[in-house]
Amino acid sequence: MRRERVIPGPDVWLAQIFEARAVARGGVVRRQRRDIERHVGWERLVAEVKRRGFHLVKTGDQVLILCHSGHFRVIC
């Protein structure tokens, strides 16, 4: 018997990102941009990252959420 894959709604998907251990430790969460677009939408993710005072970096098709409000510097 094949189980159907349940895709969480936007609220659940977004909550799952910010419930990760990395968030609690002030670490980094990485997601693919296509997954963000498919599950929650770019604007909504950006709004949530801003609301939390975090930083968001896009590199290629990857999105990095820096889960702290401190300054950061790109070295190279």
* Token output for 67: 């889960």
14-23 tens-digit pLDDT:
999 999 999 9
32-61 tens-digit pLDDT:
999 999 999 999 999 999 999 999 999 999
* Token output for 35: 């997954």
Question: What is the phi/psi pair of residue 33, to 5°?
Answer: -60, -35
Q: What is the C-alpha to C-alpha distance for residues 35 and 31, in angstroms, rounded to an integer?
A: 7
Q: What is the C-alpha to C-alpha distance for residues 72 and 54, in angstroms, rounded to an integer?
A: 11
Residue 63 pLDDT exceeds 80: yes
Task: Give the predicted TM-score (pTM) of the model.
Answer: 0.86
Domain range summary for the chain, segments of one domain joined by +: 10-66
State residue 19's pLDDT score: 93
